[in-house]
């Protein structure tokens, strides 16, 4: 019998890489999507297009306990990866109520439904380096205290604590993956890396003349999503549930990202990029850098794609997309 897995947020970047990984490993893959996504597959399911026939999609909403409960009862998963969230930090300042309600309740509903209908199911929560916020220490480890700087970060701290509490109170096999930024050619266009690689490719192809960004001084620890979903999988294959930092251990500024992306196309970003105050966040996370020693030791995991190759991979793919015939 195939192992059944349920993925919330299956339509996102990580959902797409994780589904492929689990299909390759012989899992029966189930995913939760919003009803609107099923009605508009062309736009909302583009990342899953090549594997749509191989996976099972169920419509449910993170805002409805009843709908999550029904899917969990029907699928009775052995593993559940809870990736769904309002995940764009900037937007969380504009709509803090819905970010906080959806993200916290969605995690709580999923945990509770599993406890009631599939208590042996292993659970993964997509926690985030945003929880470290105004960092207390660099690099950040599993023991670094949290200081979130956005409604999104706050919602992730609550999700992290819910996950830990279900593990301790109800004996659920529940893990927190504290993932640092992770990118790919399937990254959403609103995040800074994709905005840069897409913007640079459009400028190269003559389709745009400038690129407006916010704070160029922030530093992030950027890895490759395809590597990070392997760490998620490994967490659920251990004997005991635990929490892990997943990162590369390197930090770079947005300017460094710009250097590599534009250089790769033979362009000088200073000529095209404008820093626009209206794109700055009300509270910024200035530096993130993760220490993944625990994952290395216990999961035998390490990142394979380095910063340079990640930027190149994204620029090359975006160039193909904007100028498909060249
Ligand atoms: P982040 O990713 O907030 O770290 O969260 P994002 O790419 O949005 O921002 C990274 C940094 O770039 C600065 N920045 C800009 N960001 C965006 N989006 N657009 C811009 O124009 C721009 N200009 C500068 C930001 O201020 C910030 O400092 C991501 C998300 O995937 C979260 O869901 C996840 O939890 C964390 O990574 C780990």
How far is it, in rounded angstroms, from Cα 217 to Cα 11?
A: 31
Catalytic residue among 28, 79, 87, 130: 130
Residues 147 and 213 grouped into a single domain = no
Atom number of ligand 1 nearest to Cα 85: 33
pTM of the model: 0.98
**Nearest residue CA, atom 25 of ligand 1?**
215
Catalytic residue among 152, 160, 228, 292: 152
Residues 119 and 262 grouped into a single domain = no
Residues 199 and 273 grouped into a single domain = yes
pLDDT at position 325, please?
Answer: 67
Residues 66 and 44 grouped into a single domain = yes
Tokens 């105050």 -> residue: 277
Residue closest to 210 by CA, chosen among 250, 156, 269: 269
Residues 145 and 279 grouped into a single domain = no
Q: Considering the domain boundaries, does residue 83 fall inside one?
A: yes
How far is it, in rounded angstroms, from Cα 189 to Cα 183?
A: 11
Atom number of ligand 1 nearest to Cα 214: 23
Q: What is the DSSP letter of 284?
A: -
Residues 93 and 228 grouped into a single domain = yes
Q: Considering the domain boundaries, does residue 295 fall inside one?
A: no
Residues 127 and 144 grouped into a single domain = yes
Decide whether any atom of ligand 1 lies within 6 Å of the 181 Cβ. yes
The CATH code of the domain that includes 167 is 3.40.50.720
End-to-end CA distance of the chain: 47
Decide whether any atom of ligand 1 lies within 6 Å of the 177 Cβ. no
Residue closest to 186 by CA, chosen among 64, 69, 16: 16
pLDDT at position 326, please?
Answer: 61
Residues 28 and 177 grouped into a single domain = yes
Count CA atoms closer than 13 A to 53's CA, side-chain side. 1
Decide whether any atom of ligand 1 lies within 6 Å of the 180 Cβ. yes
The rounded Å distance from CA 190 to ligand 1 centre is 8
* pLDDT 10s digits, 110-152: 999 999 999 999 999 999 999 999 998 999 999 999 999 999 9
Decide whether any atom of ligand 1 lies within 6 Å of the 112 Cβ. no
- Host domain of residue 285: 188-220+250-290+305-322
pLDDT at position 100, please?
Answer: 97
Q: Is 152 a catalytic residue?
A: yes
Residues 163 and 17 grouped into a single domain = yes
The 3-state DSSP class for residue 64 equals coil
**Nearest residue CA, atom 36 of ligand 1?**
181
Q: Considering the domain boundaries, does residue 296 fall inside one?
A: no
* pLDDT 10s digits, 68-114: 999 999 999 999 999 999 999 999 999 999 999 999 999 999 999 99
Mean pLDDT estimate for the chain: 97
Atom number of ligand 1 nearest to Cα 194: 7
Decide whether any atom of ligand 1 lies within 6 Å of the 85 Cβ. no
Q: Please tell me the total count of domains within the chain.
A: 2
Q: Is 130 a catalytic residue?
A: yes
Residue 36 CB neighbours (<10 A)? 11
How far is it, in rounded angstroms, from Cα 5 to Cα 122?
A: 9
Q: Considering the domain boundaries, does residue 89 fall inside one?
A: yes
Number of residues that make up the chain: 326
**Nearest residue CA, atom 32 of ligand 1?**
87
What are the residues facing 80 on neighbouring strands? 6, 123
Residues 150 and 115 grouped into a single domain = yes
Q: Considering the domain boundaries, does residue 299 fall inside one?
A: no
Residues 175 and 277 grouped into a single domain = no
The CATH code of the domain that includes 213 is 3.90.25.10
pLDDT at position 323, please?
Answer: 85
Q: Considering the domain boundaries, does residue 205 fall inside one?
A: yes
Q: Considering the domain boundaries, does residue 146 fall inside one?
A: yes
Low-confidence ranges of the chain (pLDDT < 70): 325-326
Residues 261 and 286 grouped into a single domain = yes
CB 248 within 8 A of CB 306: yes
């Amino acid at each position: 019998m195939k192992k059944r897995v349920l993925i919330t947020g299956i339509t996102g970047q990580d959902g797409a890489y994780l589904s492929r990984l689990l299909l390759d490993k012989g899992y029966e893959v189930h995913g939760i999507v919003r009803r609107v996504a099923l009605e508009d597959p062309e736009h909302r399911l583009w990342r899953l297009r090549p594997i749509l026939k191989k996976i099972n999609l169920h419509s449910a909403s993170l805002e409805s306990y009843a709908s999550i409960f029904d899917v969990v009862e029907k699928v009775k998963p052995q593993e559940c990866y809870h990736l769904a969230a309002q995940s764009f930090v900037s937007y969380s300042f504009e709509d803090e109520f819905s970010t906080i309600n959806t993200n916290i309740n969605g995690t709580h509903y999923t945990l509770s439904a599993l406890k009631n209908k599939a208590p042996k199911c292993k659970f993964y929560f997509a926690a985030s380096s945003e929880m470290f916020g105004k960092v207390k220490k660099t690099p950040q480890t599993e023991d670094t205290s949290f200081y979130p700087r956005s409604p999104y970060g706050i919602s992730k701290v609550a999700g992290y604590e819910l996950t830990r509490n279900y593990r301790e109170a109800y004996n659920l096999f529940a893990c927190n993956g504290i993932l640092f930024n992770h990118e790919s050619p399937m990254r959403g266009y609103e995040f800074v890396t994709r905005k840069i690689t897409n913007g640079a490719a459009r400028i190269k192809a003559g389709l745009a003349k400038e690129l407006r960004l916010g704070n160029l001084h922030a530093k992030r620890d950027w890895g490759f999503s395809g590597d990070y979903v392997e760490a998620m999988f490994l967490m659920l294959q251990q004997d005991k549930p635990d929490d892990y930092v997943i990162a590369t251990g390197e930090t770079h500024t947005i300017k460094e990202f710009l250097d590599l992306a534009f250089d790769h196309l033979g362009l000088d970003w200073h000529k095209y990029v404008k820093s626009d105050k209206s794109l700055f966040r009300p509270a910024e996370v200035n530096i993130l850098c993760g220490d993944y020693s625990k994952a290395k030791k216990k999961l035998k995991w390490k990142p394979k794609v380095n910063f340079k190759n990640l930027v190149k991979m994204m620029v090359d793919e975006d160039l193909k997309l904007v100028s498909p015939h060249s």
